[in-house]
Structure 1
Amino acid sequence: MTNETAVLASSLGPSLRRWRVLNRVKQQALARDLGVSQSRISRWESGQAEPDAFDRQKITQLLRARPETASDRALLDLVTQAATPVHLVCDLTHRLLAASPARTKDWRVSVADLIDTPLWRFASEGIKVAENGLEDSGWFEPLGPDIVYLTERAEFAELTIPESRIRISRLALSDGRFARLVRDEAPLPA
């Protein structure tokens, strides 16, 4: 499994359902567009089945965040100019879309080296646990809540993830796809 699809096993079906509902696309129409049966779409969305590699790639291309409009670019600008540790990733693939200077202070590579690269390989155990609990928390519902979790310090050749309390918020882009805003909450006491 590639880095881009590493987290899709748990989030692809719910993400597909959320995208379809919010964009008012019926399962039958989506099935026709993807060249599969309506029942296959239903099984993917419910988690009863997973798409094969070819279908996963088609779905990923459909759902991956593409901040292309002026308003989406303004969101990227706000993130890159933020004074606090914050970054924006594609909600489905975890590809980095933007990061603030405060976020990148612990990085040993430039932001340009990581833009459009999935960050999942840098996930700490705390991040993985939070990711695995997203569906139970209502994250994939059309009006899902922010999620707050703790992550421990994790060292990688490219960057350090500091011990922190993280808040993630799902933001709809102009085209109906989703990005995830990742913010540090108040620092943990020393």
Structure 2
Amino acid sequence: MLQLGRTLKRQRLLRGLKQSHVAELLSVTQATVSRWERGIHPPSPAQRQALMALIGGPPPGGGDAALRRLVESSSQRVHLICDESHHLLAASPARTAEWGAPATALIGRSLWPFASPAIAAAEARLDELGWRDGAVRAVAFRTQATRDPVVPIAPGVVLWERLRLEDGSEARLVSTLAAAAPLPPDVVCI
């Protein structure tokens, strides 16, 4: 619950919204928004859905255009997501060739529903590894295949690299590597 509160506060601040404005838009009090952000009280399922609609995507103006161009022109199997919401920001042609939907249909959508069990397990360990504190900037792990028709996942080594975008938000560069590929020295293997 505390993680949701931190995410809400960060996304609200990135958008330049005051708690009182969020409260007004969601028909709650400013104190309620404050309690959500401090992790004292969780939003109801309906309130959570309204919050995600309000601040769930990448921040306005979002993203570094040069980084997006590099990802979109890469010959490697890579994609870029918002580190908090898992919304797709950009994908390489090699990555989208694996998918059953064009990148344009997935941009701005969370890729979390397509995560494999190994991806979910790695995500669950990020706080203990110091990912959000900046202690760790790259993580590698093995994942198994999934057969989702929209976003299938190939088995192999996944490398996550955390990047700060020009708007202050964090992004994650997701690469699929060959099993024998050398990893950079600062990568934490889990």
TM-score for both structures, normalised by structure 1: 0.71
Q: Are positions 1:78 and 2:93 aligned together?
A: no
Distance 1:115 1:105 in 2: 15
Q: Is the 8 A contact 1:65 1:179 kept in 2?
A: no
Q: In the superposition, relative to structure 1, how do residues 14 and 164 fare at CA in structure 2: closer, same or farther (>3 Å)? A: farther
Distance 2:65 2:112 in 1: 23
Q: Is the 8 A contact 1:64 1:177 kept in 2?
A: no
Partner of 1:135: 127
Q: 1:97 aligns with which of 84, 89, 93?
A: 89
> What amino acid sits opposite 1:66 in the alignment?
P
Distance 2:59 2:127 in 1: 23
| Structure 1 gap segments, 5+ residues each | 1-8
Distance 2:56 2:98 in 1: 30
Point out the more displaced range, 45-54 or 83-92: 45-54
Distance 2:115 2:149 in 1: 13
Partner of 2:146: 154
> What amino acid sits opposite 2:170 in the alignment?
F
Q: Is the 8 A contact 2:162 2:172 kept in 1?
A: yes
| Structure 2 gap segments, 5+ residues each | 24-28, 181-190
Question: How many residues were matched structurally?
Answer: 172
Q: Is the 8 A contact 1:96 1:117 kept in 2?
A: yes
Shift of 1:56: 6.3
Partner of 1:109: 101
Spell out, residue by residue over 1:50-96, the C-alpha distance to the aligned partner (whole angstroms, 9 max, x if none): 23343664477446423736x71211111101121110112222121
Q: What SS is found at the alignment partner of 1:87?
A: strand
Q: In the superposition, relative to structure 1, how do residues 117 and 63 fare at CA in structure 2: closer, same or farther (>3 Å)? A: closer
Larger RCO (CA within 8 A; separation ≥ 6): 1
Q: In the superposition, relative to structure 1, how do residues 118 and 140 fare at CA in structure 2: closer, same or farther (>3 Å)? A: same
Partner of 2:7: 15
RMSD: 3.2
Q: Is the 8 A contact 2:57 2:108 kept in 1?
A: no
Partner of 2:186: none
Q: In the superposition, relative to structure 1, how do residues 48 and 74 fare at CA in structure 2: closer, same or farther (>3 Å)? A: same
Shift of 1:33: 4.8
TM-score for both structures, normalised by structure 2: 0.71
Q: Are positions 1:65 and 2:97 aligned together?
A: no
Q: Are positions 1:88 and 2:73 aligned together?
A: no
Q: Are positions 1:121 and 2:113 aligned together?
A: yes
Point out the more displaced range, 154-163 or 59-68: 59-68
Q: In the superposition, relative to structure 1, how do residues 47 and 166 fare at CA in structure 2: closer, same or farther (>3 Å)? A: farther
Point out the more displaced range, 147-156 or 49-58: 49-58
Distance 1:45 1:92 in 2: 15
Partner of 1:5: none
